[in-house]
Amino acid sequence: MTNFDIHKVDFSLVEIELARRLGHELGGFGSNWPVVYTIADSDNVYVGETLNAVNRMNQHKANPERQDLTTLRVIYNEQFNKSVCLDLESYLIRLISGEGRFSLLNRNVGIVDSNYYDRAHYREQFELIFERLKDEGLFEAELEEIQNSDLFKLSPFKALTPDQEIAVGQIMEAITTSLHSDPSSLELIVKGDPGTGKTVVAIYILKMLSDIQSSSDLEDPVSDERFTKFYTERNRDLLGGIKVALVVPQQSLRETVERVFRRTPGLERVQVLTPFGIAESQDRFDLTLVDESHRLGMRSNQPAAMLNKRFSAANERLFGNDGLHLTQLDWIKAKSDKVVLFVDPFQTVKPGDLPTSTVLELVESAKKRENYIEIISQIRVLAGDKYIPFVKELLRGQADESPDFGEYEFELFDDLGSMISTIKQKDEEHGLSRAIAGYAWPWNSKGPKNRHKIDIDEDGVKLQWNGVVKDWINSPGSVSEVGSIHTVQGYDLNYAGVIIGRDLRMDPSDGAVYFD
């Protein structure tokens, strides 16, 4: 395959001189060939692709947000077609956003993970392009370090799967239609199994709403961008000044999302709240998105006396009584005009979570009102869409045989020490590899006075539960601990070593799996 080239030009040149330089130095690549480009200064960067670099740069020079950028890099290869350039543009946007060194000036208008002929071979050159740009100072971190970061994994510039793209379009249509013509409340249910990217879709929506709010009449829409139709003056006016919140029930994931939002232009204005936070807020919200809504809590099962008091006070403040039937979902509905709930009825974890029956009722009600959206494609597990249904069938005793999971790595261990050694080796090679388990062993090491105690003692291996609750996966020493479900739900791992406790059993008489 012919080698790529990166041509560097001073973007501060006046329009006529810049056009002359590009036309002369790029030749046919400057006016009639698909190319990818970056325009940057010390703090900001814009990434784009175009068939006519000369004309496109004139458009950027007329844009107040980009006209003072200083360095243009044009990336081209005689074998790069339009599909390759769109993929490379998406690749660079995600990496720049994921590293977080620059403020990315791109709007969120729709990056979709599309396949094309010989993609794997072109992708090999993408890594070489990254290394070249790193040598020129556009990146500092190593590629794997960026791809393993929270900012990359939760970036609003993720490439969407086709059904995530459909879901984003449907959610945006519902929100904007409701703002335009329906003054009544909106309750939209978005259902997805584990690993389908519900959190990514929620963040994507929030970034797009922020981008529409700050869009300008001088913006130059590109016809093949998926969500350009939402960037209208009418939507900008309707969204201007609205109060938007994201509620994240899980403490560990919430703090990670807050960190991502602080480093993403436009998202720093979005309030990331606990369920208690929205109930106790002095604000009323025009729109609230709730991630992992099935983890919202009930009145009767709070884990601490102080939380029981806060729950009671919130109920009294919002409803004038402390009815045991009231839940954190009721708080959110009372404080918000329009609500988008991301749910999985079968991912409840604690006794205090909303009952599965309640979440299923929400789903059925939304279907009847035609306010229901489902995300199906599996993106977290390399085994693909067949994996989660197979595991569910396996646990129900309904699986006849294992489907073909392609290159997915699956290994069974009968010795805990061997598995822990493998996980540590994978962490050295790829990062983000952790041991996790269901709560089948007591938490002896809980609290500062008990940190020396052992929690899991099997096969001569002594281990402790996660030493911290917040952002355990990224905490020092986590590779030598065991994470509970509360610390890993919503996170991505490269490799997971699952310790199966004595709470999961099999009846030898009929092979049925049951929980004890």
pLDDT tens sequence across 313-324: 999 999 999 998
- Mean pLDDT, rounded, of the chain: 89
For position 270, which CATH number holds? 3.40.50.300
The answer to whether 330 and 292 have CB atoms below 8 angstroms apart is no
Tell me: the pLDDT tens digits for 86-131? Answer: 999 999 999 999 998 998 988 876 566 778 889 888 999 999 999 9
Q: Take residue 108 and report the two structure tokens written for it.
A: 């969120």
Contact 7, 67 (CB under 8 A): no
Inter-axis angle of helices 251-262 and 198-213, to 10 degrees?
A: 30
Question: Is residue 56 domain-shared with residue 200, that is, in the same domain?
Answer: no
Distances (CA, A) of 408 to 5, 268, 384, 450, 459: 35, 37, 9, 39, 27
Average pLDDT on 362-381 reads 90
- Reported as a single tens digit per residue, the pLDDT across 271-294 is 999 999 999 999 999 999 999 999
Mean pLDDT, residues 408-415:
90
Q: Is 191 helix (H, G, I), strand (E, B) or coil?
A: strand
Bridge partners for 353 per DSSP: 297
Burial 480-491 (b: 16+ CB within 10 A, else e): ebbbbebbbbbb
- Classify strands 336-343 and 285-290 as parallel, antiparallel or unpaired: parallel
182 and 324 assigned to the same domain: yes
DSSP of 11-26, one letter per residue?
TTS-HHHHHHHHHHHH
The pLDDT assigned to 69 comes to 95
Domain of residue 443, residue span: 411-515
Tokens 């493998």 sit at which residue? Answer: 422
Per the structure, the count of domains in the chain is 3
Residue 399 lies in a domain: no
**Residue 130's closest CA among 249, 47, 216?**
47
Residues 146 and 279 in one domain: no
Number of H helices, E strands in the chain: 17, 18
In a domain, 149, yes or no: yes
Indicate whether 123 and 37 sit together in one domain.
yes
pLDDT category of residue 460 using cuts at 50, 70 and 90: very high
- Which tens digits make up the pLDDT trace of 25-57? 888 888 889 999 999 999 999 999 999 999 999
CA-wise closest residue to 190 among 328, 384, 371, 64? 371
| Residues 249 and 369 both lie in one domain | yes
Domain boundary among 153, 183, 212: 153
Q: DSSP class of residue 269?
A: G
DSSP E strand stretches across 318-438: 336-343, 372-375, 433-437
pLDDT value of position 223: 46
Q: Is residue 508 part of a domain?
A: yes
Rounded distance between C-alpha atoms, residue 193 and residue 16, angstroms = 54
Q: Look at residue 21 and tell me if it is in a domain.
A: yes
Answer whether residue 384 is part of any domain: no
The rounded distance, in Å, linking the Cα atoms of 392 and 89 is 38
**Hey, what are 378's tokens?**
């599996």
Any domain includes 381: no
Instruction: List, in order, residues 6 or more apart from 173 with CB less than 8 Å away.
Output: none
> 170, exposed or middle or buried, with CB in 10 Å at 0-12, 13-18, 19+?
middle
Are residue 166 and residue 62 in the same domain, yes or no? no
> Out of 40-44, 300-304, 375-379, 381-385, which region has the weakest mean confidence (pLDDT)?
300-304
